[in-house]
Protein backbone atom coordinates (compact mmCIF):
# COMPACT_ATOMS: atom_id res chain seq x y z
CA UNK A 1 0.00 0.00 0.00
CA UNK A 2 2.90 2.31 0.89
CA UNK A 3 4.55 1.64 -2.49
CA UNK A 4 1.28 2.36 -4.29
CA UNK A 5 0.89 5.66 -2.38
CA UNK A 6 4.50 6.66 -3.20
CA UNK A 7 3.90 5.84 -6.83
CA UNK A 8 0.81 8.09 -6.92
CA UNK A 9 2.74 10.88 -5.14
CA UNK A 10 5.60 10.59 -7.63
CA UNK A 11 3.15 10.61 -10.54
CA UNK A 12 1.44 13.74 -9.21
CA UNK A 13 4.81 15.47 -8.81
CA UNK A 14 5.67 14.67 -12.42
CA UNK A 15 2.33 16.08 -13.57
CA UNK A 16 2.89 19.28 -11.55
CA UNK A 17 6.44 19.62 -12.89
CA UNK A 18 5.23 19.17 -16.46
CA UNK A 19 2.48 21.74 -15.87
CA UNK A 20 4.99 24.30 -14.53
CA UNK A 21 7.37 23.68 -17.43
CA UNK A 22 4.52 24.10 -19.91
CA UNK A 23 3.52 27.38 -18.22
CA UNK A 24 7.10 28.71 -18.45
CA UNK A 25 7.34 27.64 -22.10
CA UNK A 26 4.01 29.28 -22.93
CA UNK A 27 5.12 32.53 -21.27
CA UNK A 28 8.42 32.49 -23.17
CA UNK A 29 6.64 31.92 -26.49
CA UNK A 30 4.20 34.77 -25.77
CA UNK A 31 7.02 37.21 -24.97
CA UNK A 32 8.93 36.10 -28.06
CA UNK A 33 5.91 36.73 -30.25
CA UNK A 34 5.48 40.15 -28.67
CA UNK A 35 9.05 41.20 -29.43
CA UNK A 36 9.23 39.71 -32.90
CA UNK A 37 5.87 40.63 -34.37
CA UNK A 38 6.17 41.50 -38.07
CA UNK A 39 6.08 45.22 -38.81
CA UNK A 40 2.88 44.79 -40.82
CA UNK A 41 1.11 43.41 -37.75
CA UNK A 42 2.61 46.03 -35.43
CA UNK A 43 1.32 48.76 -37.73
CA UNK A 44 -2.24 47.50 -37.25
CA UNK A 45 -2.07 47.44 -33.45
CA UNK A 46 -4.14 50.11 -31.76
CA UNK A 47 -2.82 51.57 -28.49
CA UNK A 48 -4.65 50.41 -25.37
CA UNK A 49 -4.63 54.03 -24.21
CA UNK A 50 -4.09 56.43 -27.16
CA UNK A 51 -4.21 59.45 -24.84
CA UNK A 52 -1.25 58.10 -22.84
CA UNK A 53 0.90 57.90 -25.97
CA UNK A 54 -0.22 61.33 -27.17
CA UNK A 55 0.62 62.93 -23.82
CA UNK A 56 3.99 61.17 -23.68
CA UNK A 57 4.83 62.48 -27.16
CA UNK A 58 3.99 66.10 -26.31
CA UNK A 59 7.20 68.00 -26.98
CA UNK A 60 8.61 71.02 -25.23
CA UNK A 61 11.95 71.30 -27.02
CA UNK A 62 12.82 73.04 -30.27
CA UNK A 63 12.54 70.80 -33.31
CA UNK A 64 10.43 68.20 -31.52
CA UNK A 65 8.36 66.08 -33.90
CA UNK A 66 5.32 64.63 -32.11
CA UNK A 67 4.28 62.58 -35.16
CA UNK A 68 7.72 60.98 -35.36
CA UNK A 69 7.58 60.29 -31.63
CA UNK A 70 4.24 58.49 -32.02
CA UNK A 71 5.64 56.55 -34.96
CA UNK A 72 8.52 55.30 -32.80
CA UNK A 73 6.22 54.44 -29.91
CA UNK A 74 3.73 52.59 -32.11
CA UNK A 75 6.50 50.53 -33.70
CA UNK A 76 7.06 48.75 -30.38
CA UNK A 77 4.17 46.44 -29.35
CA UNK A 78 5.22 46.45 -25.71
CA UNK A 79 4.61 50.21 -25.59
CA UNK A 80 1.43 50.07 -27.68
CA UNK A 81 -0.12 47.50 -25.36
CA UNK A 82 0.65 49.42 -22.13
CA UNK A 83 -2.57 49.78 -20.15
CA UNK A 84 -1.62 52.60 -17.77
CA UNK A 85 1.10 55.13 -16.94
CA UNK A 86 3.16 52.68 -14.89
CA UNK A 87 3.20 50.04 -17.64
CA UNK A 88 3.87 52.70 -20.29
CA UNK A 89 6.86 54.05 -18.35
CA UNK A 90 8.28 50.57 -17.75
CA UNK A 91 7.75 49.63 -21.41
CA UNK A 92 9.58 52.76 -22.58
CA UNK A 93 12.48 51.99 -20.22
CA UNK A 94 12.75 48.36 -21.35
CA UNK A 95 12.49 49.33 -25.04
CA UNK A 96 15.05 52.09 -24.61
CA UNK A 97 17.44 49.74 -22.83
CA UNK A 98 17.19 47.15 -25.61
CA UNK A 99 17.80 49.81 -28.28
CA UNK A 100 20.73 51.33 -26.37
CA UNK A 101 22.41 47.93 -26.03
CA UNK A 102 21.91 47.21 -29.75
CA UNK A 103 23.39 50.58 -30.73
CA UNK A 104 26.38 50.14 -28.42
CA UNK A 105 27.07 46.66 -29.84
CA UNK A 106 26.97 48.15 -33.34
CA UNK A 107 29.41 50.91 -32.29
CA UNK A 108 31.72 48.35 -30.68
CA UNK A 109 31.81 46.24 -33.85
CA UNK A 110 32.49 49.22 -36.12
CA UNK A 111 35.07 51.16 -34.14
CA UNK A 112 37.62 48.36 -34.47
CA UNK A 113 37.91 48.88 -38.23
CA UNK A 114 37.61 52.66 -38.52
CA UNK A 115 40.27 55.23 -39.28
CA UNK A 116 41.61 57.39 -36.47
CA UNK A 117 39.25 60.39 -36.80
CA UNK A 118 36.11 58.27 -36.97
CA UNK A 119 37.44 56.04 -34.18
CA UNK A 120 37.54 59.02 -31.83
CA UNK A 121 33.88 59.78 -32.43
CA UNK A 122 32.92 56.12 -31.99
CA UNK A 123 34.94 55.88 -28.76
CA UNK A 124 33.09 58.87 -27.36
CA UNK A 125 29.73 57.43 -28.42
CA UNK A 126 30.60 54.06 -26.92
CA UNK A 127 31.33 55.70 -23.57
CA UNK A 128 28.13 57.74 -23.77
CA UNK A 129 26.09 54.60 -24.43
CA UNK A 130 27.67 53.01 -21.37
CA UNK A 131 26.11 55.85 -19.42
CA UNK A 132 22.78 55.63 -21.27
CA UNK A 133 22.51 51.91 -20.49
CA UNK A 134 23.41 52.62 -16.85
CA UNK A 135 20.78 55.31 -16.35
CA UNK A 136 18.10 53.20 -18.03
CA UNK A 137 18.89 50.34 -15.65
CA UNK A 138 18.71 52.81 -12.79
CA UNK A 139 15.37 54.16 -14.02
CA UNK A 140 13.97 50.63 -14.17
CA UNK A 141 14.80 50.07 -10.50
CA UNK A 142 13.60 53.52 -9.44
CA UNK A 143 10.23 53.12 -11.16
CA UNK A 144 9.52 49.41 -10.68
CA UNK A 145 10.81 48.83 -7.15
CA UNK A 146 11.33 52.14 -5.37
CA UNK A 147 8.75 54.50 -6.91
CA UNK A 148 11.37 57.26 -7.06
CA UNK A 149 9.78 58.84 -10.10
CA UNK A 150 11.63 62.17 -9.80
CA UNK A 151 14.99 60.40 -10.00
CA UNK A 152 13.81 58.36 -12.98
CA UNK A 153 12.78 61.60 -14.70
CA UNK A 154 16.31 62.97 -14.26
CA UNK A 155 17.71 59.72 -15.66
CA UNK A 156 15.51 59.96 -18.75
CA UNK A 157 16.80 63.50 -19.26
CA UNK A 158 20.43 62.35 -18.97
CA UNK A 159 19.86 59.56 -21.49
CA UNK A 160 18.39 62.02 -24.02
CA UNK A 161 21.31 64.43 -23.51
CA UNK A 162 23.88 61.67 -24.00
CA UNK A 163 22.25 60.62 -27.29
CA UNK A 164 22.56 64.25 -28.41
CA UNK A 165 26.21 64.35 -27.31
CA UNK A 166 26.94 61.23 -29.36
CA UNK A 167 25.42 62.88 -32.43
CA UNK A 168 27.53 66.00 -31.77
CA UNK A 169 30.72 63.90 -31.64
CA UNK A 170 29.82 62.33 -34.99
CA UNK A 171 29.45 65.83 -36.46
CA UNK A 172 32.70 67.08 -34.92
CA UNK A 173 34.70 64.29 -36.56
CA UNK A 174 32.69 64.31 -39.81
CA UNK A 175 31.54 60.77 -39.19
CA UNK A 176 28.42 59.80 -41.12
CA UNK A 177 26.72 56.65 -39.86
CA UNK A 178 22.98 56.34 -40.42
CA UNK A 179 22.62 53.45 -37.97
CA UNK A 180 24.19 55.31 -35.05
CA UNK A 181 22.27 58.50 -35.88
CA UNK A 182 19.04 56.49 -36.02
CA UNK A 183 19.88 54.91 -32.67
CA UNK A 184 20.51 58.37 -31.21
CA UNK A 185 17.15 59.60 -32.48
CA UNK A 186 15.29 56.62 -31.05
CA UNK A 187 16.96 57.03 -27.64
CA UNK A 188 16.27 60.77 -27.65
CA UNK A 189 12.56 60.36 -28.39
CA UNK A 190 12.06 57.37 -26.09
CA UNK A 191 13.86 59.18 -23.28
CA UNK A 192 11.92 62.42 -23.57
CA UNK A 193 8.59 60.62 -23.95
CA UNK A 194 9.59 58.53 -20.93
CA UNK A 195 10.33 61.76 -19.07
CA UNK A 196 6.80 62.97 -19.82
CA UNK A 197 5.25 59.64 -18.80
CA UNK A 198 7.12 59.34 -15.50
CA UNK A 199 6.29 62.95 -14.60
CA UNK A 200 2.58 62.22 -15.20
CA UNK A 201 2.99 59.05 -13.15
CA UNK A 202 4.57 61.03 -10.30
CA UNK A 203 1.69 63.55 -10.29
CA UNK A 204 -0.93 60.77 -10.41
CA UNK A 205 0.80 58.93 -7.56
CA UNK A 206 0.96 62.14 -5.50
CA UNK A 207 -2.77 62.82 -6.01
CA UNK A 208 -3.73 59.21 -5.19
CA UNK A 209 -1.82 59.27 -1.90
CA UNK A 210 -3.72 62.39 -0.81
CA UNK A 211 -7.20 61.15 -1.64
Structural domain including 176 reads: 48-209
Residue 11 located in a structural domain:
no
| Overall domain count for the chain | 1
Residue 81 located in a structural domain:
yes
**82-108: pLDDT as tens digits:** 999 999 999 999 999 999 999 999 999
Q: What are phi and psi of 176, to 5 degrees?
A: -105, 115
pLDDT at position 47, please? Answer: 60
Residue 75 located in a structural domain:
yes
Residue 165 located in a structural domain:
yes
Residue 2 located in a structural domain:
no
Report the CATH number that the domain containing residue 70 is assigned in CATH.
1.20.140.40
Mean pLDDT of the chain: 83
**168-191: pLDDT as tens digits:** 999 999 999 999 999 999 999 999
Residue 30 located in a structural domain:
no
Residue 38 located in a structural domain:
no
In this predicted structure, the answer to whether residue 6 has a pLDDT above a threshold of 50 is: no
pLDDT at position 156, please? Answer: 98
**115-154: pLDDT as tens digits:** 777 899 999 999 999 999 999 999 999 999 999 999 999 9
pLDDT at position 17, please? Answer: 44
In this predicted structure, the answer to whether residue 8 has a pLDDT above a threshold of 50 is: no
Amino acid sequence: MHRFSSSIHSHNKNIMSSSINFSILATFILLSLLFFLPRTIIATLEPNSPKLLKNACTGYTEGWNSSFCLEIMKSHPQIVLAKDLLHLTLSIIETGLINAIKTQIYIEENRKENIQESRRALDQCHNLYDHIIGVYKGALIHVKKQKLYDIAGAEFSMAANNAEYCENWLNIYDTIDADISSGNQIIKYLSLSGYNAVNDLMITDWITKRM
